[in-house]
Structure 1
Amino acid sequence: MILSVLLALLLIVSSMILSFYAYVAWTLARPHIDQLTSNPMKASKLAYTNVTFPSLSGNSELEGWFIPSADATKTVIFSHGYGGNREEIWVPLYKLASKLHEQKYNVLMFDYGYVKPYNNRLMTGGIQESQELLGAIDYVKKTTGGAIYIWGFSMGAGTALQSALQNNTDIAGMILDSTFLLNPDTLYHNIVQIAQIPKYPSLPLIRFFFPILNGVSLHEVPYQKVASTSYSMPIFFIHGTADKKAPYDLVESLYKQQHNTASELWILPKAEHELLYRAEPRAYVNRTLSFLNSLGHPPTNVHAASGIPSSL
């Protein structure tokens, strides 16, 4: 009798533990997304066009705003972060779009597929999102041409790095703010801020449930290849030392891999995740625009992208 009770209790506890990790895996792919609150005209008096385009894989249809600048031959594509949308007001993207417009850059602001529920898309840590960013690049190539730059934030920055692994000829340069790459360390780093759970078996269980519940495996995120690649285009990495979601030593390591002499690293003391503009607004604008303006031309292959196989 006692043995039966103990076995029943063990079964209940085990089921609760497994259910908890399944729930974490389920919610990870379904972040809460706020509705759009404005648009470029209302927020910054910028004329814009509503645009739609497919991902490069053709698996999703993306929506966005294209903001033209008179006589512009260059375009910046914003790549928003996890839980955000095309306007990502805490960055804030409208102000950056206005500054870019003044400097004669076209701007494309778009939503990743998981932002719109009717797309039947989930967040995949950059696996499918990289195809969507490549679709945005393809859209700009076909409609306006000229040099294309990616300005990514958080997981949108990590997605930009994954996209550049697949296309290193159409991206003239990248600005990566608070780069988040969904590797085991950063995943656990974020989980323990919500619940103090052991790394093992927590990570293996979450990674086990993720493909079962979401249809795609986190093992497909090529974080090892991203971490070891010297990209052909110049990259401006910006990060804060008080970033609790993506430790800045990851970005320092990424920067050390780069051989393009135009690449830069800016670490802001005490700055938090995606709040770098707010920490140093004037310096942020001056340094990012100076970086873009210093490039001036489409990329030349200083070093071909290289890396180790992405097996986990």
Structure 2
Amino acid sequence: MSSTLQKNAKPHSSELEETPPVVSPRQIRIKHVVVAFVLSIVFFFLFCFVALHAYIAWVLSNPTVASVYSNPMQAKGMAYEDVTFPAADDSRMMQGWYIPAEQKSSKTIVFSHGYGANREETWIPMYDLAHYAHKLNFNVIMFDYGFAAKTNKEVATGGKKESQQLLGAIQLAKQKGSQEIVVWGFSMGAGTALQAGLKTKDVTAMILDSTFLLEPDTLYYNIQQQLDLPRHPSLEILEFLLPIVNGTSLNQIPYQQVKKEDYPFPIFFIHGTNDDKAPYQIAEQLAANQTNPDSGSWVIQGAHHELEFREHPREYLRKVSDFLSSLNLAEEEDVNNEPLLNDELSNSPSDTSSSTAKDANSK
């Protein structure tokens, strides 16, 4: 009887519990090593990703700029004087050249060079355009932005500091007696001109070639030309790093205001559809905002960034001259002076202008 009870008795609950597997100290160490190894790989790649963006931010802020190799007299036989003048906010002293007109003149063209260049900007080439402006009896100012300075070089800030430096050049033109001041800007120098135009009433007109405006879209557009990085989080990382590297955040650049501004003075936009640094749609949008009847744009099919003059020299000078003539800043006989055009183009690339160049003049 007792044996039967023993057989029918249910096992104690403790007997049902399985004994947990015993993990040896060696297995625990291996697990920790694997986790640490995986995390180290993840953190390594994160570090490399952030470091790459830090390098991009540093390169953008510290462009390599060649030294000035000539001067207006050597290059084009134009008499000039070396000038120093303060930026409008007195943050630094600027260096440049003042080229007086051959006949006394109250009109001045201030050239605003692009990123990674100095006042000579040889690929345009700037001396040719300065000489042409000089022949139209303009005084000419050519100067270096802080990031291109020979001494006390600064980082590039996308126009934040540069706009104050350009305003200093405009003040210099006024001090020299100019009453009509035209800013002729290229690439970031054109975007800088638009930023300066928000802060001054001393500008008569602007000619803007290959306008580059530093904003998230153009920043990523340029990065994509070199590296296939994801838009996010690349932009967020760069927006975090730029203030650390050059002291300027994108929010300090008034690109949103510039993109919707209707400027009180006429602007002539020049841009190429094959621009790989500043999409031509930016120029079209900026031009569309202008209501000044003398404003306009010329979008050239197939032209490249800052190479519009090289690729279409004759038509380029005619368009610019027509714009200046419409403002009574160039005489009609000068605009239609074929020997003057031929003389200026004698040392420039051959005129490749054709029917492919699309005139998109608009208000």
> 2:262 aligned to 222, 230, 233, which one?
230
2: CA distance between counterparts of 1:252 and 1:141?
31
Verify: 1:189 aligned to 2:221, yes or no. yes
CA distance in 2, matches of 1:107, 1:213: 34
Alignment of 1:115-130 (within 5 A): 115-116=148-149, 118-130=151-163
Q: Which residue of 1 aligns with 2:108?
A: 75
Partner deviation per Cα, 1:147-171 (whole Å, 9 max, x = no partner): 100000000000000000111x200
Query: For residue 296 of structure 2, what is the aligned residue in structure 1?
Result: 264
CA deviation profile, 1:268-299 (whole Å, cap 9, x unmatched)? 110000000011101111111221132137xx
- Give unmatched runs, 5+ long, in structure 2: 1-32, 330-363
| Partner deviation per Cα, 1:6-38 (whole Å, 9 max, x = no partner) | 111112111111111111111111001011121
- Measure, in 2, the Cα distance between the counterparts of 1:296 and 1:71: 16
**Deviation, structure 1 residue 120:** 4.4
C-alpha separation in 1, matches of 2:98 and 2:283? 30
Q: Which residue of 2 aligns with 1:150?
A: 183
Q: Secondary structure at the match of 1:109?
A: strand
1:232-285 CA distance string (max 9 Å, x none): 000000000100100101110111100000001101110000000011101111
Structure 2 counterpart of 1:204: 236
Q: Is the 8 A contact 2:61 2:245 kept in 1?
A: no
Whether contact under 8 Å (1:54, 1:60) holds in the other structure is yes
User: 1:7 and 1:101 mapped to 2: Cα distance?
Assistant: 65
Corresponding residue number in structure 1 for 2:271: 239
Question: Which residue does the alignment assign to 2:44?
Answer: 12
Which AA in structure 2 matches 1:214?
N
Q: 1:139 aligns with which of 161, 169, 172?
A: 172
Q: 1:119, CA displacement in angstroms? A: 2.1
Q: Which has the higher contact order (CA 8 A, sep 6+)?
A: 1
SS in 2 for 1:135: helix
Cα distance in 2, alignment partners of residues 149 and 111 from structure 1: 17
Which of 92, 105, 114 is residue 125 of structure 2 equivalent to? 92
CA contact (8 A) 1:81 1:153 kept: yes
1:142 positional shift: 1.2
Whole-angstrom CA distance in 2 between matches of 1:21 and 1:171: 38
Q: Report the CA distance shift for 1:142/1:59 in structure 2 as closer, same or farther (over 3 A).
A: same
- Cα contact 1:25–1:207 (8 A) shared by 2: no
Q: What's the CA shift for 1:118?
A: 3.3
Deviation at 1:46, TM superposition (A): 0.5
Q: Following TM superposition, by how much is the alpha carbon of 1:92 offset from its aligned partner in structure 2, in angstroms? A: 1.0
- Give the corresponding residue for 1:47: 79
Q: Is the 8 A contact 2:67 2:150 kept in 1?
A: no
Alignment coverage as a number of residue pairs? 296
Name the residue aligned to 1:63. 95
**2:153, 2:281 → 1: CA distance?**
35
The residue aligned with 1:307 is none
For the 8 Å contact 1:152–1:174, the answer to whether it is kept is: yes
In 2, Cα distance between equivalents of 1:37 and 1:155: 22
Gaps spanning 5+ residues in structure 1: where?
Answer: 298-312
The one-letter code sitting in structure 1 at the alignment partner of 2:242 is: F
1: CA distance, partners of 2:133 / 2:245: 41
Contact 1:25-1:209 within 8 A present in 2 as well: yes
- The aligned amino acid for 1:63 is Q
* Aligned counterpart, 2:317: 285
TM-score (normalizing by structure 2): 0.80
Q: CA separation in 1, counterparts of 2:290 and 2:175?
A: 30
> In the aligned structure 2, how far is the partner of 1:269 from the partner of 1:249?
12
2:271 partner amino acid? H
- Opposite residue 126 of structure 1, the aligned amino acid is G
Aligned equivalent of 2:135: 102
**TM (normalized to structure 1)?**
0.93
Larger radius of gyration: 2
Alpha-carbon contact 1:124-1:218 (below 8 Å) kept: no
Secondary structure class of the residue paired with 1:19: helix
